[in-house]
Structures are given as C-alpha cells and as structure tokens.
Amino acid sequence: MKYISTRGGMEPAPYSAVLLEGLATDGGLVVPETVPEVGAAQIEAWRELDYASLATEILSLYATDIPREDLERMCRAAYSPENFLAEEVVPLTPIGEANGAPLSVVGLSEGPTLAFKDMAMQFLGQALEHVLAKTDRTLNIVGATSGDTGSAAEYALRGKDGIAVFMLSPQGRMSAFQRAQMYSLTDENIHNIAVEGVFDDCQNLMKALFEDLEFKRANHLGAVNSVNLGRVSAQIVYYFWAWLRATDALSEQDRATAKVSFTVPSGNFGNILSGHFARAMGLPIHRLVLATNENNVLDEFFRTGVYKPRGAAETYATSSPSMDISKASNLERFVFDLLGRDPERLAATWGELAAEGQIDLSAELPRFEREFGIVSGTSSHADRVATIRSVHETSGAVIDPHTADGVKAAREYAEAGVPMLVLETAKPAKFPEIVVEAIGETEPLPEHLAELLDLPQRVVEMPDDAAALREYVAARALKP
C-alpha cells in the first residue's frame, strides 16, 4: 500500500513515512492510492475478534510496511485495559428509537482523556515511537486543538522517546476541564501554547509552519491532527466494530444484507472521513449523517454544494466547543474523491478556494447522498439542552453536548428498520455546565481525574503570529 497527495505533487510513500509527515510535501493531504476492499465473508469472519485484534486486521490493510507482529503488539498496547475503562473498549448503549429505528451511542470515550480522540491517538503514539526507533529519528509534533485533540495527543505522547509536542489552543475557547487536562501536564516533552484567536487561527499557524518546507525539515516537524493519515486509518476500526455489534443479534442470513447508519458530530471532518473510507472498503453503511453546531459551514456545504469557510469573527463560541471550527481540513480528502481522484482538478479547486474564499460544487450535489451516502444536520444550544434532557428521560443515559448535536441530527434521518449509531464525542463530565442546565446534575469524573482541576497549570500565551511560533518551536525542538 502506497500513499499519494490529493494535489499530485508527492511521490508515492509507505504508511510509516506518511505517519511522520502529516501534510503531504506539496501542501495537500495524504490518501491511499487505492482503498482496500473487504467482502461480506471477511467482515463476518472478524465478528468474534476483540477490539485489539480487529484493529490489527484492519490496520494491516493500510500499514503494509509494518511487520504484522509489531502491528499486533502496538494494537494490544494501545487498546489495553490500562488505557480503556470498558472491557470491550467500545461499548454500545441503546438510547431509544426514532422513526421506528433503534438508536444507540457508540462509546468512544473510555480512554485516558475521556474523548473519542483517544481511539486513534493511543495507536498513533505507539506507531510513531515504533517508526522513530526503527529510523533513529526525532519528531517535533506541532498540532492545533479545539478541545480534545490536544489532550489526547499529549497523553498518548508524553514521555515518548524522540518526540516533543507543541500544541496550539485558542485562548478562552475550551472548557475548564479541557484546559486542565492539557495545561496540568509537566512532562518535559510537552509544550502548551494558548493563541489569541479561535481554533482556525491555531490551525492556520500550524499549516504555515508545515508549508515552510525549509523550516519543517530543519526542525523535523510532524502532525497528529486529523490531517495525519494514521489517525484516520485507526478510526476506521470502530466503524467496523460498531457495525458488527449492532448486527450481532441478527440471523446469519439477515446479517448478509444488514445496513446500519452512523451519525457523526463533525468539526474538522476527520471522524466522518474515516466512516467514508469504511464505506468505500465495503462496510454496509446506509447513511453517514454529519452533525454540526452553530458553526455549520459543513452542513451548508452538504446541503448546497457551496463551501465557504468563515473567519474568526464569524466563528461562534458554543456549548459544544470542540466543534467550533469553520474551516474543515479533512474536507479536501472527500472532495478529492468527489472529483474523481483527479489531483489537477483538486489543486485547481483549492486554488480557487484560496483566491475566492469559497468553492461551488453544487453541480455534484446529487452525488453526495446517492454515491457517498452523506447527509447533514445542525443544532443550537437549545437543541443540545433539549436532547440531553430527552435522552436522559428516555434511557437514563447522560450524553455530552457534541454527542447531543449528533443525536438531534440522527433523529431527523433515522429510518425504520435501519439501526442508527451515534458516535460519542466525550464523557459528559467534561462539560458540566450544559449537563446541569439540561438535567439538574452532572456525571462525576472518574476517580483518577477527580483532582485534575486543582492542579497547577503550565501554558505559554502567544499572539496569532507565525514568526513568534517559529522562534518558540525552533528554540525547543528536539534535534537528532
């Protein structure tokens, strides 16, 4: 398996190499030359596997240059009982019905930072350390977070040999718990930088450093944001896992024709992109429902075909802050497929986006659902409060505000006889204010995190200035 750039300017490279690069060398995003296909018989043969074994099987289709025994060891370490609270790693919780369809939440928040980002980041931490050890290299991770990516990356990479992390976050835009998770870490290889602005400003700073190829090479920069193909590939696993668990009770005959829909709270389009890949591989996904909050640029795109990112002043601070994003990096990978995997068309389209501030792909709009199964919805703060309350009243379950965005959209698109699975974003205890507003109480934090908010915090504040960031990173980057 080799990987290429959406913009056509990178020589095909193996999985291990693209793990270290993040962005492609031409500024595009890395994608597989061809998506591996699996048939119904193969999917069925995976039904009895535990999560780590299923991860080994699926990731072996992508990481073909990593010996299988090493890949299995990494998956066992990533999805160990020490890292994940639930025995099954990803439990499914029924939360009622909508339009005659059973609704369930796919529990992706059992990891060390109580957010779905742990599912991919724990594997990526193992994989990066393995590749660096094999190549005797160092890696300086520069990332941007709207809330959960940063802590998941830092917990996965803290203390790892040959790796330093420089994580950009927007000042005052994350919950108190999200800030505490990141800023309380004291590991010498972790550097937290709070930027004046919104998440998109952080992401633009990150991209500015990566697009400066001389600086990138001199300082051995790498990425763990959802632009990193390693994260996208690891997230594919839980789509297969959830589909298998949702169809466990069916007869063997019914399993062969069963379809399941997924709803995915979306900000940067990375999580739902993994579902897009799973569907392309052959997983029988009926619909992929993209759910947004008030920062609904992606919802507008999938409803109209016009993609028009917003500036910082038009990016709202909402009660589902991890989705307060108005420029979705991973959309480029979907548009690459939409444009027939033609790098020249993609490069021209992204050039138009840079010049005009928007692109109009409305001529392709009928294909969004017909060919790719993607539809979308949006919600407001009032919707989130009402959804958290109704889920709790119906099932006793408590969900976080991002997952509530998902449940609201899921109810709109649920179809009789087609199970609807909503991908959980995080534990509700990370967002106590809105949960208390909805149900009058909040879920307690796990015992091992109960004192987190009281720990001293370590963070550097910085203006939205690429030159200042370059200077900071260069002074602290690990050298070979």
- Annotated active-site positions, please? 117
Element (H, E) at 448: none
Would you state the structure tokens that stand for residue 158, as one six-digit string? 């803290």
- Cβ 108 vs Cβ 399: under 8 Å: no
CA dihedral (148, 153, 155, 156) positive or negative: positive
CA–CA gap between residue 448 and residue 445 (Å, rounded): 8
CA–CA gap between residue 13 and residue 183 (Å, rounded): 35
Q: Please state at what angle helix 331-338 crosses helix 270-281, rounded to 10 degrees.
A: 40
Closest Cα to residue 358, out of 329, 327, 336? 327
Would you state the structure tokens that stand for residue 475, as one six-digit string? 């002074």
Beta-bridge mates of residue 92? 106
Other beta carbons within 10 angstroms of residue 214's beta carbon come to: 7
DSSP reduced 3-state for 195: strand
CA–CA gap between residue 349 and residue 354 (Å, rounded): 9
- Cβ 264 vs Cβ 226: under 8 Å: no
Q: What is the separation of C-alpha 70 from the centre of its chain, rounded to a whole number of angstroms? A: 24
